Structures are given as structure tokens and as C-alpha cells.
Amino acid sequence: MGLVHTPAERFADIEGYPYEPQYVDVGGPEMAYVDEGSGEETFLCLHGEPTWGYLYRKMVPTLAEEGRVVVPDFVGFGRSEKYDDPEEYSFSMHYDSLVAFIEALDLDDITLVCQDWGGILGLSVAGHHPERFARLVPMNTGIPSGNQEMPDAWEQFRDFVERVDELPIGMLIQNATATELGGETLAAYEAPFPTEEHKAGARVWPDMVPRQGGGDGAETTQAAAERLSEWEKPAFVLFADSDPITGPNRDPLRNLIPTASDQPDVWVAEAMHFLQEDAGEAIAAEIVDFVERTR
């Protein structure tokens, strides 16, 4: 087992995400995070595969006007430490790291803003630790049963990530984004991964999704789903209108969480999987409105 660091100079010239990282030990590796704004509200913004906190750069300024915004990088991503051995990554490692992160910062009354794996893990933690959370905003994500079949688009993505010799991070993000990304933006997404050994976490995350015939963590997600089916605090399910991978999860998730139907039935227009990239400012405004009407 070894932990590798991404050299700080890889992040030196990134535009649009000027926030200084902070670090917290989560039981071995250190997780990096940015912590902006202040106030009674706390927004915890969780990214997915294969991105990092930079994905939320268009949302941080608006959310920070409303309260404190905490944006961590999961272990293996962004400026956090990374295992170079794929075997070190597991659902429980990510789950326990997120719990340790929340406890280390003593985050409370959290409005969870989560997408992709950030939702699988974030919703699982919220289900098991509801006392820490005030609201849920799941976006392009789900809480897998472990028994579901995955869409063909996801199967193709998983197969590609497993077999390709050099994992093209920028290409994967561009292919799941409606907006044409510039060279500097793509470079920012690729910055955390100077070598293939730095990509071990990104390599294994897709196959970890609990599903029929594979994955990891189904017992945790199933138990969390049961608890979320009795959720009484506000929840606002906010999905893009053009995501073939997670789009089918939208209505089941909205039906699972009882309070979700209390909120507007909103689809984010002209956006794909990485909806924060396609419509970050508009999404942040929707979230602020949601917080203000549910205080």
C-alpha cells in the first residue's frame, strides 16, 4: 500500500477555483477541501467520477453568499491523497472517509449537494447519520439497491475505463457534458492525475457501484434507502434533462424520499451528467431558493 500526492504546482495555474485547500486526516489518507463563506447554512458539495471539487466552481460564489460551503475531494481525487494500489479502494473506505471528514469538521445542519458517486456516498451517510443533515439536494445520482440492471451507456463506460491503457480524464468529462469545454478547463480536470498510478481511484470507482451481479456496498445503500424512505426533512431532487446514465434514477429517487414531492418538479435544461458544468450558476440559484423556502 502506498499513498501518492499530486504536486501542488499541478494546480498553480487553474482559473476559476482560487480557493486555498485545507486538509484533514480521515484515517490514513488526507482529504483536501475548500471552505468558503460563513453563516448558519452549511452546504456540503460532493463530486463524483472522475472529477474533483473544481466541478463546483460555478456554484461556490452563489452558495457562499448564503452560508458556509465545504467542498471536499474524495480520497484518490483532486488534491486529496491517492492510493496507488487499486485494491485499497472500496465502498467502505470511501464511506468511512466521508463520515470521518464530517466528524472532523463537526459539520451539522448540512444541506447535502451531491452528484454521481457523491450522491451514492452522501445519501448513504445521510441515511445512517440523519442527525447531521438538514436538507438533501441529490443531482444525477441514486441510492443503488444492489439488484438493479445498469443502463447500456454505463456498461460501456465501465468497460472502457477498465480496459483503456491510459485513462483520458478530460475526454470522459467532455463526453458527459453538453457544454464545449476549453483547454484550460480540461487541463484543470486532468491536473490531479499526472501519472496512471494517480488514477487508481478513478479506475475502480465505476465497477464499485452496487448492482446486479457486481459492485460493493449494497448492504449499506439498502439500509440507507430504507431510512430515506422515512425522511421527514426537506429534499429537492434536481436532475439534468439529458443524462442517459443517471436519468432513469430520477423518478424512483423522487418517489423514495417522501418530502421530495413537496418541492418543484424541476429538470435542468440542456444539461448532461456533469450538470454543474453545464448550468452551475442556475443550479446554485435553485438551491438557494430551496433553502430559503424551507427554513
| Nine cell digits for residue 168 | 483520458
Residues in the chain: 295
**Using CA atoms, how far apart are residues 55 and 53, in angstroms rounded to an integer?**
5
Q: Which band of pLDDT confidence, cut at 50, 70 and 90, is reported for residue 1? A: low
The pLDDT, as a whole number, for residue 278 is: 98
pLDDT (0 to 100) of residue 63? 98
Which H or E element spans position 277? helix 275-293
Percent of the chain at pLDDT above 90? 95
Q: What is the rounded average pLDDT of the residues 39-46?
A: 96
The residues that bridge with 240 in the sheet, in sequence order, are 268
Q: Using one digit for the tens of pLDDT, what is the confidence trace for 137-156?
A: 999 999 999 999 998 989 99
C-alpha cell at 295: 427554513
| Active site residues per annotation | 116, 243, 273
Report whether 184 contacts 160 (CB < 8 A). no
What average pLDDT does this structure show over 246-257? 96
Average pLDDT over every residue of 222-233:
97
pLDDT in tens, 158-212: 999 999 999 999 999 999 999 999 999 999 999 999 999 999 999 999 999 999 9
Comparing CA positions, the residue from 181, 148, 176 lying closest to residue 160 is 176
- Which amino acid type is present at position 134? A
For position 13, what pLDDT does the model report? 86
CB–CB of 150/211 below 8 Å? yes
Q: Which of 23-32, 86-95, 149-158, 270-279 has the lowest mean pLDDT?
A: 149-158
Domains of the chain: residue spans and CATH:
3-293 (3.40.50.1820)
Taking the C-alpha atoms of residue 141 and residue 119, their distance in angstroms, rounded to an integer, is: 5
Torsion angles phi and psi, residue 115, rounded to 5: -145, 145
What is the tens place of the pLDDT at every residue in 57-105?
999 999 999 999 999 999 999 999 999 999 999 999 999 999 999 999 9
Q: Got the DSSP string for 218-250?
A: HHHHHHHHHHHTT--S-B---EESS-TTTGGGH
Cβ atoms of 33 and 71 closer than 8 Å: yes
